[in-house]
């Protein structure tokens, strides 16, 4: 899929007022977006109006949201975000198992939703361009970069830090989109999509280990926690 820098959004939501609120807000924030009230209407419109990310309500008439997510994941390339009033553990696990990228429970914070869609769109663009950081296969003097063959982070002065798989995956996301703030739940769903008990504390554990490793080697790691927003890797 040819993902643009600003992801195209479709919303499948049978509550007309709520759907219109999301559309107005996302369009105001610059997202090309359209919405429909049913899966049937979505499939008909998708053919003529391609999108990159689909927001799906679970409680749809006729074909439900679970079925939509399952079919879209088989097509591959789509970002899938669940928006639902069903906040139960079973619904969340089923959606993640089917391949959803994110599970959001109503009421939705629209500002957070917009930031999350931007982050997910960047992730899709990275995957469309080869799946990993452009720095993976070349050394960049004066920059932070990852060496996948050795599973390590290399600092601007060429010092290296050995990484566990989860540490590597987390930094791969953050460095690829450096200076962007990533919501903890989005990071959790990207790194622990099959976790039986979702818990964003897992992200804090990985971050803590990374900071401890860097301190032990006298390295100032430019990882920042932005209160109320998320995590970012700062590159000047």
Which tokens go with 45?
A: 């419109």
Domain parsing of the chain, residue ranges = 9-128, 134-233
pLDDT score, position 131: 45
pLDDT score, position 196: 63
Instruction: Please state, as a whole number, how many other Cβ atoms lie within 10 Å of the Cβ of residue 120.
Output: 23
Fold of 9-128: Rossmann fold (3.40.50)
pLDDT score, position 137: 39
CATH code of 134-233, in short, is 1.10.10.10
C-alpha radius of gyration, the chain, whole number: 19
Q: Choose among 160, 169, 220, 161: nearest CA to 192.
A: 169
Q: What is the DSSP letter of 157?
A: T
pLDDT score, position 202: 86
The single residue listed with the structure tokens 């932005």 is 226
pLDDT score, position 207: 92
CB distance 181 to 114 below 8 Å: no
pLDDT score, position 142: 53
User: DSSP string spanning 106-123?
Assistant: SSP-HHHHHHHHHHHHHH
pLDDT score, position 2: 45
Say whether pTM exceeds 0.95: no
Low-confidence ranges of the chain (pLDDT < 70): 1-4, 87, 126-142, 193-196, 236
Instruction: Please state, as a whole number, how many other Cβ atoms lie within 10 Å of the Cβ of residue 51.
Output: 21
- The model's pLDDT over 99-143, given as tens digits with 9 standing for 90+, comes to 787 888 888 888 888 888 888 888 777 666 554 433 343 344 458
């Amino acid at each position: 899929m040819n993902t643009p820098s600003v992801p195209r959004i479709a919303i499948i939501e049978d509550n007309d007022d709520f759907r219109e609120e999301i559309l107005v807000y996302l369009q105001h924030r610059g997202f090309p977006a359209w919405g429909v009230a049913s899966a049937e209407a979505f499939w008909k419109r998708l053919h003529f109006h391609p999108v990159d990310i689909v927001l799906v309500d679970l409680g749809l008439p006729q074909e439900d949201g679970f079925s939509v997510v399952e079919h879209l994941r088989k097509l591959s390339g789509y970002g899938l975000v669940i928006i639902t009033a069903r906040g139960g553990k079973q619904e969340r696990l089923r959606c993640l198992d089917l391949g959803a990228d994110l599970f959001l429970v109503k009421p939705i914070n629209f500002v957070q939703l917009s930031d999350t869609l931007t982050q997910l769109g960047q992730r899709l663009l990275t995957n469309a361009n080869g799946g990993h950081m452009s720095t993976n296969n070349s050394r960049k003097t004066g920059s932070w970069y990852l060496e996948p063959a050795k599973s390590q982070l290399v600092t601007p002065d060429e010092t290296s830090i050995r990484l566990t798989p989860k540490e590597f995956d987390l930094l791969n996301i953050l460095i690829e989109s450096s200076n962007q703030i990533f919501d903890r739940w989005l990071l959790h769903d990207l790194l622990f999509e099959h976790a039986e008990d979702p818990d964003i504390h897992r992200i804090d554990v990985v971050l803590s280990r990374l900071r401890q490793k860097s301190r032990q080697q006298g390295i100032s790691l430019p990882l920042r926690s932005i209160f109320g927003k998320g995590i970012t890797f700062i590159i000047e």
